[in-house]
Amino acid sequence: KGNYRVRAYTRWMQNNGDESYFDQTIPVGSLRINKIPESIITSPKTVNKPDVQFFPESGRLVCGISSKVAFKTIDSNGLGIDVKGELLDNENRQVTTFASGHLGMGYFYLQPAEGKTYKAKITYPDGSQDTVDLPVADTKGIVLSVNNDSKTRVSVTIAATKTFYKE
């Protein structure tokens, strides 16, 4: 645990001086709530539900633009756990299904519709279920997508809503 300073730059950025560098202090904590017992007496364990996080590829979901959404599921011990689930809209209609591929991580594609919200119905390895809301999609914006599935070719796509493009 502690505060860690991350400072990053390229050789080209050195021409512009320190103001162009990425420089940020990031606090790092622990997911473990209970301390390690200092004696033989043990306290009853609290059961924490796993933490499910969603990461749209360009940082935000934007209505009308398809995005890759990565996810990660971490158990209370800090380790990834495999899950499967389905994505539902605000009318409880199934949009897609998903499953983690490795250590609780995976991805799916979503093209959010305007006026809709989305939630993930998650099934854990023990059979228990939980529902987690996805981030609300912006009505206008821009999405950057990178496809590096091929070793010889990488494609970068930038898509914008009409409103964003006109502005």
Residue 40 has pLDDT above 80, yes or no: no
Of 29-33, 54-58, 113-117, 149-153, the one with minimum mean pLDDT is: 29-33
Average pLDDT (79-84) is: 92
Q: What band does 45 get if pLDDT is binned at 50, 70 and 90?
A: low
For 145, residues 6+ apart whose C-beta sits below 8 A from its C-beta are 57, 58, 67, 68, 156, 157, 158, 159
What's the token pair of residue 48?
A: 């924490």
Q: What band does 2 get if pLDDT is binned at 50, 70 and 90?
A: confident
Asked if residue 137 lies in contact with residue 59, where contact means CB atoms within 8 angstroms, the answer is no
pLDDT digits (tens, 9 = 90+) for 46-72: 557 889 999 998 889 999 999 999 999
Average pLDDT (66-90) is: 92
